[in-house]
Amino acid sequence: MATPHAAIAASSAARSPSVQWIACTVLALPVLLVVLLIVLLGGGLAADAAVGAPVTVRPGAVPAAYHPLILRAARTCPGITAPLLAAQIEAESGWNPDAHSPVGAQGLAQFMPGTWTSEGLDGDGDALRDPFNPADAIASQASFMCTLLVAVSDDDQLTGDPLNLALAAYNAGLGTVRRFGGIPPYPETQGYVRRIRGLTAAYADAAGSALNAGPPGSWTSPMTGLVSSDFGPRGGRLHAGVDLVAPIGTPIYAASNGTVLAAGPASGFGRWVKLAHAGGVTTVYGHLDSWTVTVGQAVQVGQLIAYSGNTGRSTGPHLHFETRVQGDAVDPVALYAAHGTVLR
């Protein structure tokens, strides 16, 4: 309990303008923090909503009954895209919802009963978890692949592309992948990974994916995003391209007609795609989340080739885009201008 003198002092202090300002500020801080959190979380939710854009599956490639299920499942996490899920189902069951394997795997996504017990989901809200129900199987497939992708990405004892490792874990088990420190030396598992990566490109909606791509031989912007860093000196060295900022999973398109020279892990870039074009021009797309093309594949201007990410030496989700002439880096803005196009 306060003494009378203390009460009088407190009353006088309360009438002081400076004390009143401090009190108001203290009371307002929680409100400001809540508003800030809402803004930040809202931005994060908006970024997540861009992942797994539903237009990434080639029209007619997926059986009509399963198409909406694939699109919904592709929003489960970054990196697990609709074309990848479709390719995996083809490899697992050939789109047969009643498939049984000789070793006991079941349904479209070929879950073993033990794995289904821990990983199976109720995908259609009917309070049942049935591996032979396509809605349950596809939702569970995407969720399990996301779990595996996180597990292999966080394990610094593993070597190799995380998506390939996740696919290998789906086929042979996460424990087996960890025991070998990467994709196990099993022909079945290695063939499984190669087949799915090839099928992913076949399922992707490649033709005319980019808006205003232009006729063959023209040039178009590789991605819709804000330019955060231009070509030129940066930190005492040459920044050999431009950086375009966008949420993880944003589609990336071929800048012009060309041939795929590289697609996969690359030092510094994390994951990249490199294309060769006419006139000795090459383009580089770095820090990717995943890609949809294979080495040697011909691509057209505006064709979907990858999804943006935050891999390699990256300070945040973006695309690092380079243009090179006879192997020498040139300013992409200048190269586009030389071709009568603006790099947006």
The answer to whether residues 323 and 329 touch, using CB atoms and an 8 Å cutoff, is: yes
The Cα 158–Cα 340 span in angstroms is 46
Kindly write down the DSSP assignment for every residue of 37-76, as one continuous string.
HHHHHHHHHHHHHTTT-GGGBPTTSS-TTTHHHHHHHTTS
Q: Which of 92, 119, 188, 322 is catalytic?
A: 92
Contacting residues for 257 by C-beta, under 8 A, at least 6 apart: 216, 217, 277, 278, 298, 299, 300, 301
Residue 259 CA, distance from chain mean position: 23
End-to-end CA gap in the chain = 69
Contacting residues for 170 by C-beta, under 8 A, at least 6 apart: 88, 144, 145, 148
The Cα 210–Cα 162 span in angstroms is 27
Identify the three-state secondary structure at position 119. Answer: helix
The answer to whether residues 112 and 105 touch, using CB atoms and an 8 Å cutoff, is: yes
In the residue annotation, 92 being an active-site residue is answered as yes
DSSP class of residue 278 equals: G
Q: CA distances (Å), 188 to each of 109, 171, 277, in order?
A: 17, 9, 36
* Alpha-helical runs (H) found in the chain: 4-15, 17-49, 67-73, 82-93, 113-119, 134-153, 162-172, 174-180, 187-203, 332-338
Q: Which residues are catalytic?
A: 92
